[in-house]
Chain A
């Protein structure tokens, strides 16, 4: 026993090293669970505050670019105003609706909240973006994030009271359901961590006609992204003879190096859709098990 204590005493520095190394690796590999913990939330608030100051300073130099972009958005929004559209419908007639469900009632599916980016990176394989809006402003996980001009940026993965962390499209674990604008066929958008200027579109069957420059938009089947918003354009078509699917490279529509103001988009039906999905799966699984 005495020898053991002597041994440890002699190599105390080495054991400290070993212990701290284990601690830091534990931080690294339990990132997701650990990230939920209080400590990281405090850290998030602190780094967020510093990042916000820096961003305020940086924005001063980048306003011109952002102004042009906002101008473009305003332009496109003006075209959507109802006063720009005239109705020439003179043949309509009133029909008494006997259905119990009012099928003409409209409901809101997406709610947009503005936010500004306080931290951003494109140089790692796992890029996160930090926004200056958090749970106090109604941001929750799984909301999608669009750039000021409506192009897809990422999905909120974690929130603290004043800040939110977004998993960028430039993240090797990111998977987004997207479709071709022309045909509506859908595939999965991923990133291989190599070139921040090129995303990968997988799972699109070769029967679909694809050209260079075809626009790729958020799919109607995505739970997070509102459909039809631009994601990118096809930049390279790789035909792999061994599969029935294309491997497409997509040039992202958002310029990730230069994000300033973004929209956080809430799908108001998100909870209902996902719970229905889960319950369906459970129901079918249970039915299978009981029939056996």
Chain B
């Protein structure tokens, strides 16, 4: 229950930042559109089943979409992210300890290097798909590549300080109670 409320508050916070801060602020450059909300999906607990994760991804994407008036665009990118997440965690998580000791992916639970790989790959996937869908209806291939890498870089540049500034509490999950 606490877990659910925590994540809901997180979602609202990310939604607010995405819609009213990142989307409102003056355009940095036409190639750079930073976004941060997908961090919510990256931070979801290990215990969420892959199939449920997909539904959460769709819902998150649609909520963002209806605020940014592009139904389906972010939802589609979120689905990719949620689909690939379990595989990446499977590959990167240290086998014996983390999944049982930690609640959710974080630099502490996955260790810094694997966590950065995890974040970088999923950010890249998210931005690639988002830009790809935009590019299909419009634009050139050069623009597409630059936009993907510029947006990914700027998003990572925001994510890393966030991880450093707000270390999430490292509570161990014990066998007694939840």
Contacts and interface: CB of A to CB of B under 8 A. Distances in A.
Nearest to B22: A123
Given A121-B68, A124-B68, A24 B61 contact: yes
Interface in B36-66: 50-51, 54-55, 57-58, 61-62, 65-66
B58 A20 contact: yes
B156 interface: no
Nearest to A165: B69
Interface residues of B, number: 34
B71 interface: yes
Taking residues whose C-beta sits less than 8 angstroms from the other chain, chain A's interface range is 35 or more
A202 to B, nearest CB: 17
A27 B50 contact: no
Interface stretch (A10-18, A92-100, A105-113, A274-282): A10-18
A21 B51 contact: no
Interface stretch (B75-83, B120-128, B157-165): B75-83
Contacts of B33: 123-124
A221 interface: no
A65 interface: no
Contact of A13 (B51, B66, B68): B51
A125 B138 contact: yes
A230 interface: no
Contact of B54 (A16, A195, A196): A16
Interface of B: 20, 23-24, 26-27, 30, 33, 50-51, 54-55, 57-58, 61-62, 65-73, 75-76, 79-80, 82-83, 133-134, 138-139
Given A16-B55, A24-B62, A130-B69, 8 more contacts: A13-B83, A27-B62, A27-B72, A34-B71, A46-B66, A122-B27, A125-B138, A165-B69
